[in-house]
A and B are shown apart, each in its own frame.
Chain A
Amino acid sequence: MENTENLTIGNKLTDPHLWVAKYADYLYTYAVSRLNDEEIAKDLVQETFLAALERIDKFEGNSSEKTWLTAILKYKVIDVYRKRSKSLGKQIKISEEEDKEEDFFYPDQGNWKLEHWPLQMGIEEPDAFISGEFTDILQKCMKKLPGLWLAVFTMKHMDEEETSVICKELKVTSSNFWVIIHRAKVNLRSCLQKNWI
């Protein structure tokens, strides 16, 4: 009896010849929305299918075929994040980033420096209208963040990934994780203010 139960619960793979028709657009959208790069996204979709073929015997049917393929792609996306966070020359160390942050707060008591005081931008009210222009600036400002910060920020805010997973994949400690989340936001907000007001 147990066997029949397994059969009904377990998912089966369809013919890989059909994968492209069934999943290529979905996977492509997944990758583009996370990487903002259509060329890299195309390559990752292809790599995902080829990697899936290699481990087809490891597919256990615990998830649907689509979920399984997406999981493979997800790790490929994280690999890109990882590469991006390193491509700024040396891997950024927190101590170097600390210098940057001193710009915003006085080192002794930690209050805002006058020139960095957050000013009203017209986005404060919960029902404020956000123009397309503002969103464009937001995207540009995000791209200016250091690679590792953007990777942490994207994984947390866009993918709503577990903190422990992000720490493991990007090799940051949990305390550094929160430091990065904080600095990314302080920098992002400041960039918005500079370019908007």
Chain B
Amino acid sequence: MKASEIKKIAYNCRKATFLIEKQQLAPITIREKLELKIHLAGCSICRTFMQQSIAINKMVHHLFQSSVRRDLKLDERFKEEMEDKIREKLDKN
């Protein structure tokens, strides 16, 4: 990599944060990995961003899991109504 290119990525927080996001969900190229490494080595702000981004993803995942585990119950009256509608429809066919 040329010195000018290294300088470009070293200062580009927009690109670094983009790669931080992409990397968590999909593979990035070796070149991109290197660029990100160079950037993070010199940018503590983006290091904080990365730690927080990982934490947020974990929280979102956890939030979702706990809502799935809640095991909600539909109210009985609505269930009866649905059963009636299904019966009606089956009788028609």
Q: Residues of A with Cβ closer than 8 Å to B?
A: 16-17, 19-21, 24-25, 28-30, 32-33, 42, 45-46, 49-50, 53, 104-105, 109-112, 117-121, 123-126, 128, 130, 134-135, 138-139, 142, 156-158, 163, 178-179, 181-182, 185-186, 188-189, 192
Contacts and interface: CB of A to CB of B under 8 A. Distances in A.
A93 B21 CA distance: 21
B56 interface: yes
A138 B63 contact: yes
Q: Which of B14, B26, B70 has the most CB of A within 10 A?
A: B14
A152 to B, nearest CB: 11
A178 B24 CA distance: 11
Interface in B52-82: 52-57, 59-61, 63-64, 67-68, 70-74, 78-79, 82
B21 A181 contact: yes
A189 B56 contact: yes
Contacts of A45: 74, 82
Contacts of B85: 46, 49-50
A53 B22 contact: no
A118 B11 contact: no
A5 B72 CA distance: 38
B15 A118 contact: no
Q: Which of B8, B54, B74, B86 has the most CB of A within 10 A?
A: B74
Interface in B1-36: 8, 11-15, 17-18, 21-22, 25-26
Given A19-B86, A24-B79, A49-B86, A119 B48 contact: yes
A111 B13 contact: yes
B57 A157 contact: yes
Contacts of A25: 71-74
A174 B36 CA distance: 21
Contacts of A24: 74, 79, 82
Given A53-B89, A163-B26, A110 B15 contact: yes
A158 B62 CA distance: 9
10 contacts: A17-B87, A17-B90, A33-B70, A109-B8, A135-B63, A156-B25, A158-B60, A178-B18, A178-B22, A189-B53
Nearest to A54: B89
Nearest to A121: B52
B12 A109 contact: yes
Given A20-B86, A124-B51, A29 B70 contact: yes
Contacts of A16: 86, 90
B15 to A, nearest CB: 6
A21 B24 CA distance: 40
Contact of B60 (A53, A157, A163): A157
A192 B56 contact: yes
